Amino acid sequence: MKNIMKRMIAGAVALSLATVTLKAQNAPDTIVINLTESSKVVLTVGDSTDLQVLRDYDFQQLFDDVLDSLEGKSIGLLSHDSTDEKTETYSWESEEDDEEDYDWDNSYHERRWRTTHSFNFDLGTSNYLSDGKFPDSENAPYAVRPWGSWYVGINSIQRTRIGKNFFVEWGFGVSWYNFKFQEDNITLVKDDNGVTFTPDMRDADFRKSKLTVSYINASLVPVLDFSNRSNKGRWDATRAFRIGAGPYVGYKIDSYSKIKYELNGSMEKDRNHDGFYMENIRYGMRLQLGYRSFDLFFNYDMNELFTEGKGPSLNAFSFGVVF
């Protein structure tokens, strides 16, 4: 019930700020949010220029701490009457010491192991390195185009805060490498000796050729959060730069080659689902950089894409934006 109350308060405050923005007037606005028959929140905005400051506050965290502080304490009602208005102000006092302020640091210490959940979407580009160099530097047939070689990841992420400026992101997800070859007629030919990248010599108008590999993954990324978490700015999210790095491991669940071409006036697509001697396991390191609600990622596979001796020596990587 308490969690529902917290979300109601935070949601109501956000909705109220949107309403005040539409008014855009200099006169003070008083917003009364009725939560239950006996509980309400009163928010007074003195100037429309304050709205941006209020938008940067984490009201969910604010009311988490405020409501937690009410547990085990008596609540009184103070009233003030005047000829023009009646103002009601709720306050609370500690039964042990009514002169001491609430200990925010202890509250944070008790709740620092709290874990939250989110779904993250990685969108970026894929490529690979051969002995530390891009394959197109040697005009290799498996060189890829950065534009069109998309990397997509869908992740279920848990975030566990274990220190004032330190938390761990861990979870599971699925991802897709899409390696779009620079030459549109490249096919993958597999035999007992390995896999080769060979041009298709048919008399056709080739439009696209690519290799797609999908994985199920697990990751563990420790993150340093440099946001200001002093009491004065406890709910201020304007300075929230963060950086993290950690390992991941994945298991290949599918792979296929695809070539698209026009032949005799008909558009054709040849798709071949095969393992192509690719490693079933991938493992590597992930780097994350974030500021406020914007995050970047960089993944680098430390093991090679193909089994040793069965294909080119390639280490895949990807980078992009986290949504």
Using CA atoms, how far residue 59 sits from 14, 36, 66, 70, in Å, is 8, 19, 10, 17
Tell me the two tokens of residue 153: 């990841």
The whole-angstrom separation of Cα 41 and Cα 30 is 10
pLDDT for res 92: 43
Number of C-beta neighbours around residue 134 at 10 A: 14
Per-residue pLDDT tens digits of the chain, which is 323 residues long: 555 555 555 555 555 555 544 444 445 667 777 666 667 777 777 666 666 556 666 666 666 666 666 665 555 544 444 444 444 444 444 444 444 455 545 555 555 568 999 999 999 999 999 999 999 999 999 999 999 999 999 999 999 999 888 999 999 999 999 999 999 999 999 999 999 999 999 999 999 999 999 999 999 999 999 876 544 444 444 457 999 999 999 999 999 999 999 999 999 999 999 999 999 999 999 999 999 889 999 999 999 999 999 999 999 999 999 99
CATH number of 113-322: 2.40.160
The whole-angstrom separation of Cα 277 and Cα 235 is 52
The whole-angstrom separation of Cα 67 and Cα 43 is 16
The whole-angstrom separation of Cα 256 and Cα 91 is 65
**Maximum distance among all alpha carbons in the chain?**
95
Tell me the two tokens of residue 116: 């939250």
pLDDT for res 226: 87
- Per-residue buried b or exposed e for 136-171, using 16+ beta carbons within 10 Å of the residue's own CB: eeeebbbbbbeeebbbbbebebebebeeeeebbbeb
Task: Give the CA angle between residues 178, 182, 187 to the nearest 5°.
Answer: 70
Q: Read off the amino acid at residue 50.
A: D
Using CA atoms, how far residue 220 sits from 71, 167, 292, 316, 322, in Å, is 35, 11, 21, 19, 16
Dihedral sign for Cα 224, 55, 53, 104, please: negative
Spans of all domains in the chain: 2-110, 113-322
Q: Quickly tell me which residue has 């430390």 as its tokens.
A: 302
